Amino acid sequence: MKFRSTVFALALGLAFSAGAGAVTIGFNPRTGDVWVDTQLREMNQYGYDDRDYFVDDLVNNFGAPRYLVTDLLVTRRWAPGDVYYACALAYASHRPCGDVVHMYEQDRGHGWGVIAQRMGIKPGSPEFFALKGQVGKSHGRFKEHGHGPILDRGPGDSGDQGPGNSKGHKENHGNSGDHEHGNSGEHGNGGEHGNGGGKGKNKKGGGH
């Protein structure tokens, strides 16, 4: 009886793992860039693994309305990777996220690459490289939070101790307003940097 229970638990675990992998494998954003597609597949899985953190990240860093992100994920059943890229494109093009969502829903069959070009973000353009940088930074934040394997580093994910990708940086999820910010270029990262360590060390054999 104990052997049967063990076998059943093992089979259930394998089935769950296969299902989780299928979520990532079946997601095909078609951005026109292999590196971006790979990053989005990873972030698609992040969104399923920790939806609360995923939503907070889009609200804080792209100014996406929380109600819209939640509606896309829960009610409309969008893949997290699609939700992420809609918000990233909106931020890069200085448009409301709702406009990008509407555009994608009207022409979903052509993939994100076509949508981005219609918005003026063409492959190889400065705007596209800036977008890739944002994608890399986002992937770095999720990886630092503890999700997903380490992929080949790309734009914005160099591991440098700069803004938005520092080891001592904590994301502040309290400043997650529900309003769109008009994509004014402010990232809304109210992070605390925790750089105060090191001054109060106790010396061995203290008392001096």
CA pair distance 194, 113, nearest whole angstrom:
39
Which pTM does this prediction carry? 0.61
Tens of pLDDT along the chain (208 residues) come to 444 544 334 443 443 334 444 444 589 999 999 999 999 999 999 999 999 999 999 999 999 999 999 999 999 999 999 999 999 999 999 999 999 999 999 988 889 999 999 999 998 899 999 999 999 999 999 988 875 544 444 444 443 333 334 333 334 444 444 444 444 334 444 444 444 444 444 444 444 4
Torsion-angle region of 206 (φ positive above 0: left; ψ -120 to 50: alpha; else: beta):
beta
User: 157 is written with which tokens?
Assistant: 């994910």
CA pair distance 145, 147, nearest whole angstrom:
6
CA pair distance 44, 62, nearest whole angstrom:
17
With beta carbons less than 8 A apart as the criterion, state whether 79 and 40 touch.
Answer: no
User: 47 is written with which tokens?
Assistant: 């969104």
